[in-house]
Amino acid sequence: MRLAELSEASQVSIATIKYYLREGLLAPGRRVNATQAEYDESHLRRLRLVRAMIQVGRIPVATVREVLRQVDDDSLGRSIRLGAALWALPTAEDPDPADPQVRGATAEVDRMLAEVGWEHAAKLGQLSPVYRELVGVVASLGRLGYPLDAAELAPYARLMEQTATHDLDRMEQQDGEVAQVEAAVAAAVLFEPVLRCLRRLAQEQEAIRRYGL
Amino acid sequence: MRLAELSEASQVSIATIKYYLREGLLAPGRRVNATQAEYDESHLRRLRLVRAMIQVGRIPVATVREVLRQVDDDSLGRSIRLGAALWALPTAEDPDPADPQVRGATAEVDRMLAEVGWEHAAKLGQLSPVYRELVGVVASLGRLGYPLDAAELAPYARLMEQTATHDLDRMEQQDGEVAQVEAAVAAAVLFEPVLRCLRRLAQEQEAIRRYGL
């Protein structure tokens, strides 16, 4: 398809598409003559992902470029590629390991990982920005007077394990590894508000079931 | 305890506590003489909640006041009181019912509610701001090229149902109805980042389990 058709199909303006092309967030189309290029389904898919990251995820352009570099790096094994793409997404600042609150939170997170048997996550440990973010979150909740210990984290971890199984099953429905890693990034960015709403709706349902209206 | 001790116990500065008192977010202590008042555990608990809403949830003071009004209104039944407190939390703008994307999303959300058997949530429907927010989120995902239908929403809804059961079980461990509703509000505001981190950590664990490192 031509640029105008790509814009039509994606509902992204031509000016924005040209900006993404200039910034290297979208691969150039196949030149058909001096002024025109041809785009395909992979451009449309990538364009949707870039827009989702920028408009919904509010992720800076430089970070989007870094995430996409990992998505496109086929020298990486699948877990690493997926991990690298997701790890490049913005996370909170790293917690200070000298802070006693952070040391306590680290111990609880480690005990939780052992309890639910996430041996791979335990082995990665501090290497993973997500692990470090979780420690930081648990430490700040403790500081705010809402401490969470391993026993309280574990049942939620088990539920999120089932959610992750679904996430990866959905991802595997995509054709090809690039499309799969793209789907995982989109899910990480876009799916948070869906889960947040579903959880609160479930709380309403369960509260009325227990206590009546 | 005196004001200085309340500040010490909560790690909230005296100036901030006085500001919360002026704004009516914290009930006045029991006067012991012309210049001093006595505070108790309920003040400490409320102070933690107010700080969590303002500092972590970035919720405006007027909204915090409205949430607390519902928390303290013992003329309400328990579900309504809980619901009213949670409904007063900020949500996204209501979706436009004339938008065809929104009509489609409404139909999918309704089919999902029927599929998972959430009859109370289905009966509340548009009355609940959470329902309206979910419809809005599903509509924007569709607009971005990531449509979600009832069949895709349902398994996530079932997992969030289990999460909500845990949420309410934890809430019921609190002594007294005010403390319970307070705990529910704190969980709604503070627990999002914990679940987000746990889900991404679970994705890492599951990806390495499936695809190796």
Segment A77-89, tens digit of pLDDT: 777 777 777 777 7
Nearest 5°: the CA angle A13, A183, A40 is 45
pLDDT value of residue A14: 95
- C-beta of residue B52 within 8 angstroms of C-beta of residue B186: yes
Residues of chain A contacting residue B56, judged by C-beta atoms under 8 Å apart: 140, 144
Q: What is the mean pLDDT of residues B122-126?
A: 89
| A19 residue type, one letter | Y
CA-CA distance, A154 to B23, in Å (whole number)?
A: 38
- Chain B residue with minimum CA distance to A119: B205
pLDDT higher than threshold 80 for residue A49: yes
pLDDT value of residue A72: 87
pLDDT tier at A24 (50, 70, 90 boundaries)?
very high
CA-CA distance, B70 to A63, in Å (whole number)?
A: 41
Residue B31 β-bridge partners: B37
pLDDT tier at A112 (50, 70, 90 boundaries)?
very high
Report domain A3-87's class: mainly alpha
pLDDT higher than threshold 80 for residue B102: yes
- Locate A178 and state its tokens: 């690039």
Best to test chain B binding among A156, A168, A182, A189 (most B CBs inside 10 Å)? A156
CB contact under 8 A, A160 and B195: yes
Residues of chain B contacting residue A84, judged by C-beta atoms under 8 Å apart: none
Q: Quickly list H helices, A88-176.
A: 100-116, 119-124, 129-143, 150-172
Q: With CA atoms as reference, report the closest residue to B3 among B48, B46, B35.
A: B35
Q: Does A22 touch chain B (CB under 8 A)?
A: no
Domain extents for chain B?
A: 100-211
Residue with tokens 């999918």: B108
* SS3 label, residue B1: coil
Segment B188-210, tens digit of pLDDT: 777 888 888 898 889 888 888 88
Q: Does A170 touch chain B (CB under 8 A)?
A: yes
Share of chain B above pLDDT 70, in %: 100
pLDDT value of residue B61: 92
> What is the CB neighbour count within 10 angstroms for residue A2?
13
pLDDT value of residue B145: 81
- Locate A84 and state its tokens: 């690298």
Q: What is the mean pLDDT of residues B105-111?
A: 97
Residues of chain A contacting residue B51, judged by C-beta atoms under 8 Å apart: 144
Q: How far is CA A68 from CA A37, A169, B172, in A?
A: 22, 22, 45
Segment B23-47, tens digit of pLDDT: 999 999 999 998 899 999 999 999 9
Residues in Cβ contact with B118 at an 8 Å cutoff, skipping those fewer than 6 apart: A201, A202, A205, B157, B161
- C-beta of residue B203 within 8 angstroms of C-beta of residue B100: no
Comparing B90 with B105, which gets the higher pLDDT?
B105
- C-beta of residue B57 within 8 angstroms of C-beta of residue A146: no
Nearest 5°: the CA angle B146, B150, B155 is 95
- Residue A51 to chain B, least CA–CA distance (Å): 8
